[in-house]
Amino acid sequence: MLMMMMMMKKKGSKESLALLAFILASANCILQPTKEELNEISIQGEKYLDKQIEIAIDGVKEMKTVMQKSSEDHKLFVDALEKTKQQKEEAIHVAEEMEAKLAKEEEVCNDTMKALWEECKPCLKKTCVKYYSRTCSSGSGLVGRQLEDVLNRTSPFSIWINGERIDTLEQEGQRQTKQFKNLEEKYTEMEDGVDNIFSDSMKAADHINPPGFFFPKFLAPVTRRARSIHMLFHDPFHNFQSLFSPMMGMSRNLFGSMDSMTDLDSDAAPNEDGNVNEDVIITKPFGDGRMTCREIRRNSAGCIKFRDECEKCKEIQHLDCSGKKPLEGPLKEELEAALAMAERFTQQYNSLLKRFEEQMFNTSSILDMLNMQFGWVSSLANNTKDGIFSVKGVICTGDTEENPGGEKQTAETKVSVQLFDSPPINFTVPGDIPWTDPKFSEVVAQKALDRYKETSIVVK
């Protein structure tokens, strides 16, 4: 600066001295910007914001691309799930046919079997409730009442043929259907949310840049169903991952329960209180079956697995009034094969559900990351102002000075701006960037944009 003054003195130019005075006054915040200069700062800041909006729109397009890829994966999963479900139902149907044929073989034992069944039922109930109350924290009364209803509706042939496996498979199928429906609803919410953000972002692009931004045809905004997207997404920063987070824990319990049905899990481990966790697999004190407290509460028919503890139930299993030993013949083998196939397809369906849910959870995480960075642009869909950025005032607080402690205190510049449709935004920027510096407009525009995101968008 000293060298510049010496050069100007040598030239002896009044114009040069005036220019120097202007530069010094601007740099030291003595001279405030005029209305025309504020307008120029606004124009430069708006150019900077245009670039940020374009970057944000590109980010929203990336969200749409991620969702498009997810939709393709979603279709593959749905097709695989539907095929597996059909195979499972066919296997169960075959098992039911074999069960009916076996029951017909021993119709001659009908009266004997019914008599034994009436003595078997109270023992089953007593044994199951005793085992349940010893292991599980609560609900033994409910289990007892549910089991009594189940036993009164159940044929003794279920004991004779080991047919409760079909009931368990059918109840598991109902849970799977409910789980799939829930996942589909969450997926639709996520898909609708992305479409909503994308559509609003394209509107914002049209408002800010009338010729429009180019985007591939497959990314074009789509017309959704009649229900209002805005009822689901009140702001563009919906937390997509929250749609799937609670379900991850639920599915772990569900899949664990199904594992117990097919005897795949290990024995339970006590929790910190020394009690067996209801959601952890436990081993019966007899036999090699494994169940959970939750499983018994949901499916009291599982208590039939305790038949080996009751003499009258064991007698039913060994009845052979026809002398043909049907439980050792091909019909029983076909029944067991069909049940094994149905259980295998049930496990396969659960595995597909789990993979589908994990993929949706990962997709939602990516969408959240992109949305937090770029989703703000969709809030500009209803922006009605022609200009998007206007600097209303710049006030310098003076040169760098020392505070009472002797440390240097950097001066700050107070700025008031109007951004989009928001109320005036007031903030400060470092005083070491004079308003005459081209960088000043970018710093102010970015600070205003950051403040706009903080005050105008509420993250769920």
Under 8 Å between Cβ of 37 and 444: no
- pLDDT above 70: percentage of residues in the chain: 67
Close Cβ partners of 114 (under 8 Å, ≥ 6 residues apart):
156
Residue with the bigger pLDDT between 161 and 247: it is 161
pLDDT at 120 over 70: yes
* Of 102-106, 215-219, 286-290, minimum mean pLDDT range: 215-219
pLDDT at 225 over 50: no
pLDDT at 241: 74
Assign 380 a pLDDT band (cuts: 50, 70, 90): confident
176: nearest Cα among 6, 347, 33, 326? 347
Assign 41 a pLDDT band (cuts: 50, 70, 90): very high
Stretch 447-454: mean pLDDT, rounded? 88
Assign 399 a pLDDT band (cuts: 50, 70, 90): low
Residue with the bigger pLDDT between 269 and 109: it is 109
How far from the centroid of its chain's Cα atoms is residue 414's Cα?
Answer: 43
Per-residue pLDDT tens over the stretch 140-162: 787 788 888 878 877 777 667 76
Under 8 Å between Cβ of 413 and 29: yes
Alpha-carbon span 153 to 155, nearest angstrom: 7
The length of the chain is 460
Under 8 Å between Cβ of 321 and 106: yes
Assign 24 a pLDDT band (cuts: 50, 70, 90): very low
Close Cβ partners of 338 (under 8 Å, ≥ 6 residues apart):
91, 92, 94, 95, 98
pLDDT at 433: 86
pLDDT at 183: 92
| Alpha helices per DSSP H over 234-292 | 245-261
pLDDT at 379: 84
140: nearest Cα among 338, 332, 303? 303
Q: What is the DSSP string of 432-449?
A: TS-TTSHHHHHHHHHHHH
pTM, rounded to two decimals = 0.68
* Averaged pLDDT of the chain: 74
Residue with the bigger pLDDT between 326 and 56: it is 56
- C-alpha torsion sign, points 234, 237, 239, 243: positive
pLDDT at 237: 47
Assign 404 a pLDDT band (cuts: 50, 70, 90): low
Six-digit token string for 194: 């992305």
- C-alpha torsion sign, points 95, 97, 99, 105: negative
Alpha-carbon span 88 to 351, nearest angstrom: 14
447: nearest Cα among 58, 59, 48? 48
| Backbone φ, ψ for residue 406 (5° rounding) | 90, -5
Assign 229 a pLDDT band (cuts: 50, 70, 90): very low
Per-residue pLDDT tens over the stretch 170-199: 889 999 999 999 999 999 999 999 999 999
Q: What is the DSSP string of 40-61?
A: HHHHHHHHHHHHHHHHHHHHHH
| Alpha helices per DSSP H over 209-327 | 229-232, 245-261, 293-298, 311-317
pLDDT at 303: 79
Six-digit token string for 1: 């600066």
Six-digit token string for 21: 């005075």
Q: Report helix, strand or coil for 233.
A: coil
Q: What is the DSSP string of 97-155?
A: HHHHHHHHHTGGGHHHHHHHHHHHHHHHHHHHHHHHHHHSSS-HHHHHHHHHHHHHHS-
Alpha-carbon span 237 to 13, nearest angstrom: 59
